[in-house]
Structure 1
Amino acid sequence: MYGLIAIFDERTEELIKNIWKELKEKSISTYAYEVEDRKPHITLASYNSLNKKEFIEQMDITYKNQTVIDIKFNIIGSFLNSGALFFSPTVTKDLIEIHSNHHKDFERFNDNPNSLYLPDNWIPHCTIANRLSEDKLNEVFNYCSTRYSTILGKIVNVALIDVSEKHKAPIIHSIELKHDATLLS
């Protein structure tokens, strides 16, 4: 299994990692520590299997001129009957475009017609906690909704990860997105 993820700027990543750390210290959730080197992210796509060489070549072409995307998390949500809590970003034109362009350019790799990350199924989110009991879900919700306000950040990188091993999700290939000024030079 593989995922294509959008990775945040250092400040946003550290803020979310601090939330994960606080939830662990309060014995509410260990979600962030269940996978080695987990990074805060938004998943853009998932695949059961891949020709990694072809996929990486397509990544290099598709994301060569992709610019950094501003992101604003101002919603706390949960998928029904999931025990998951997430921060959901404001859905902007840029966020929709990176997602829809990815699926258009990588259509030949789609091997799961029921993927939750396909257009018309996708709910962009950054998971804060997962597999929680009803009590713990309420505890995380109350904690996050009173402790934090809007998080402003940026998507600065896209990365292909391998999620086939249970407690690992190594980055196979990543591409740093361009700042607008770098396109001018």
Structure 2
Amino acid sequence: MYALIAILDEKTELIIKDIWKELYEKSISIYAYEVENRIPHITLASYNDLNKAEYVKQMDEFYEDKSAIDITFHSIGSFLNSGALFFSPTVTIELMEFHSNHHRYFERFNDNPNSLYLPNNWIPHCTLANRLSPEKLSEAFNYCSKRNSTIQGKIKEVALIDVTNKNKAPIVYSKELNEKNTTKV
């Protein structure tokens, strides 16, 4: 199995890693440490099987001229009956177009019509904790809802990861996005 993930800027990544560490130290969640070298991310797509060489080639071409995406986390949420807690980014037109344009371009690779990452199914999120008991979920929610105010960052890179192994998710290939030109004319 493979996933395409959106990697966040260093400042935002550090905030989330600090939360992961604090949840671990408070004996609330071990999520961050269940997978070797886990990095904060937003999953954009998933695939059961993949021609990696062809996908990487297409990924390199498609993302060559794509710009970094501004992202703002205003809220936290949970999926029903999952024990998951996540930061939920503001759903902007730019974020939705970024996601849907990816799926349109890479449609031939979609081998799971029930994927939760397809357009019209996707709930963008950055996981803070997972598989928590109801008591730990409540504890994590209370902690995380008070820890931060709004977090503003960027999606700065996309990466294809191999999630075949339960305890590892190595990056197969990544592509940095272009910095936006902020010069006013």
The reply to whether TM is greater than 0.5 is yes
Q: TM-score band (shorter)?
A: over 0.9
Residue in 2 aligned with 1:19? 19
- Where does residue 119 of structure 1 map in the other structure? 119
Give 1:123 shift. 0.1
- Counterpart of 1:83 in structure 2: which amino acid? G
**How far 1:97 moved relative to its partner?**
1.0
Distance (Å, rounded) in 2 between the aligned partners of 1:14 and 1:146: 17
Provide Cα deviations, 1:113-139, integer angstroms capped at 9, x if missing partner: 000000000000000000000000000
**Aligned partners of 2:95 and 2:147: how far apart in 1?**
26
SS in structure 1 of the partner of residue 98 of structure 2: helix
Pairwise CA RMSD = 0.9
Where in structure 1 do 4 or more consecutive aligned residues deviate above 4 Å? none
Q: Deviations over 1:124-156 (max 9, x none)?
A: 000000000000000000001111111100000
SS at match of 1:11: helix
Partners in 2 of 1:126 and 1:181 — Cα distance?
Answer: 26
The aligned amino acid for 2:124 is P
Percentage identity across paired residues of the two chains = 71
SS of residue in 2 equivalent to 1:128: strand
Alignment partner of 1:163 is 2:158: no
Deviation, 1:93, is 1.2
State the distance in 2 between where 1:180 and 1:26 align.
39
TM-score (norm 1): 0.97
Q: Which amino acid aligns with 1:163?
A: V
Give me the TM-score of the superposition, normalised by structure 2.
Answer: 0.97
What displacement does 1:23 show?
Answer: 0.3
Aligned to 2:139: 139
Letter in 2 for 1:38: R
Match status 1:35 vs 2:64: no
Q: Give the length in aligned residue pairs.
A: 182
SS class of match (2:22)? helix
Partner of 1:50: 50
Measure, in 2, the Cα distance between the counterparts of 1:46 and 1:143. Answer: 30
> How many Å apart are 1:180 and its aligned residue?
2.3
